[in-house]
Structure formats: C-alpha cells, structure tokens
Amino acid sequence: MMSMKLPKLFRIEQVPQVFHERGIIFGYRHPQSSATACILSLFQMTNETLNIWTHLLPSCCAHTFSSMSKNARHICYFLDYGAVNLFSLGSAIAYSAYTFPAMLVRTTFHHYFVSLAVLNTTLSIGLACYSRFLEIQKPRLCKIIRILAFAYPYTWDTIPIIFRLFSSLEESSGEVANTYHQKHTVMAILACFLYAAHLPERLAPGFFDYIGHSHQLFHVCVILATHLQMEAISLDMTLRKEWLLVNSIPPSFSQTAGAICMCIIFSLINIIYFSIALYQTPEPELEKKET
C-alpha cells in the first residue's frame, strides 16, 4: 500500500530569521519548499496548519505557500494584505448603505465616508507591505507600523457604529442590531490584542507551536467578529429598510462597484511595486551572517 511522505519539519534555529515567529520553536516548514510540499503541508500538523484552515479562502494561500522562499513569503503576505483591505472597504460600503446612525445620515461625513475608505485601504496596504522590509533590522517598528496599517482603516469604518451605540436619537428599528455591533466590536478588539501581544506563546515558548498560539486565536476571533458583523448588517438591512429608503443616500456606482474597482487597482499597484522592490533590495546584514 502506497504511503505519502510528508515534508520534514524544522526548529526555529534551522530556518532563516525572516521565517521566525515569536514564541514558536518547532514545526517550521522548509524555507524553500516546493508548491507540492506546501499543499501536502495542509494535511500535516505544522505551526501553520491551523492558521491555514482557520483563514478565509482567498487569504489562506498566504499561509499555504509562504514557505517557498523568503521573497515568496513576502509576496504571499502582500496579497493577503490586499484581501484584508478589500474586506475593510466592503465593510465601509455596507455600513454606509445600511448601518449609518440617523444623526449622521446625509451629512458631509456620510457623503465622503466610502471615498475616504478607499484612500485608507490604499495607504494601509502600502504601510503593511513596507513593514515587511523592516522585519529583521527593526522588528518592533515593523510590528507597530503593521498594527497601525490595519487598525486605522478599521477605526474609520467603526466611527458610525460608535455613534450608533452612544446615540440616544437612533430610530427604534436601528437599535435591534446594536447588540451584534457591540459583540462584533469586542471580538475585533480582542483579535487586535492577540495579534499584537503574541499571547500565550510568549509566556511558554514551544508549548503552543501547533495548537493554541496567538495567530490561530486571532483568526478564530476574526471569524467570530465577521459572523457577528454580517448578522448585524443583515438585521439593519431588513429592519431599517423602510426608513433607509426614505432617509438615506441611494447607492451609486462610485460608492459601490466603482470603489471596489479602485481599491483593487491601487492594491495591485502597491503589491507590484513592493514585489519589484524585494528583488532590488539587498538582504539585511543579519540575514547574511546567518547564512
């Protein structure tokens, strides 16, 4: 009977520094894996397996193929950042159409909300991609920039929700979904904390290599937050329908499909620019010494 030979796994000191994850000691894949080996690793317990299986389908490729080479790792995550930012813009479009609080509907803020969300996604992916060039020499700055890159578009998207939760002027139909908006906000904040804190693996290095490290918990929190977000938007879309038809701004191409097209174009420009820059940037001295 034929048996499938799974790829060999490595310890942290056996792979280049760019692949290192804080607090994760075992379970690293070969840093120059073939595409076949990457796919086989989907069915092998590595320190990336649950990261892959707890990710949204378009973004799971980043974790799957990130061990093919140093540059492939960076490019995979460039694409991942693009997908995350596209989701962020989608949230802004849905919020503009269905969840805006009564006190902000048809204001200047409402009119430019989606347009500025497109600008935010463009700046965000640029910052996130740039941060990868700082991973070796300035890891702390790298982490700060990357967290900022994702936190501020989310903060912008959440402004109308915060107004909703603290407003006493909201129409009754809009209050029904507020519990879901609250839960979504809490789960999103928890996800951000786990991503930034590297807990629990930093407290017990090597113990959470395969199951239970922060990136897996981060993914689970994001999934739960997204589910709660979709439930909240669905309730708003249904229960506020009559009120929105009378009072809100009618959807337009520039605020929906046009905004998405612009986001995709600007994201691809960023990804291509930083991918080319990878091959024109000399390796940091720490990497040279390691090899």
Q: What is the pLDDT of residues 218-273, one digit of tens each?
A: 999 999 999 999 999 999 999 999 999 999 998 899 999 999 999 999 999 999 99
The better pLDDT of the pair 59, 46 is held by 46
What radius of gyration do the chain's Cα atoms show? 21
Q: Are 190 and 221 in contact (CB under 8 A)?
A: yes
* Angstrom distance (rounded) from CA 289 to CA 186: 43
pLDDT of 4 > 80? The answer is no
Q: Which residue has the tokens 């337009």?
A: 252
pTM of the entire predicted model? 0.87
The DSSP secondary-structure symbol of 168 reads S
* Angstrom distance (rounded) from CA 196 to CA 23: 13
Tell me the pLDDT band of 6, cut-offs 50, 70 and 90. confident
pLDDT tens by residue, 264-285: 999 999 999 999 999 987 765 5
Q: What is the pLDDT of residue 168?
A: 65
pLDDT tens by residue, 17-30: 999 999 999 999 99
pLDDT tens by residue, 114-125: 999 999 999 999
Query: Domain locations in the chain?
Result: 85-281
* Angstrom distance (rounded) from CA 167 to CA 84: 29
The secondary element (H helix, E strand) that includes residue 234 is: helix 214-239
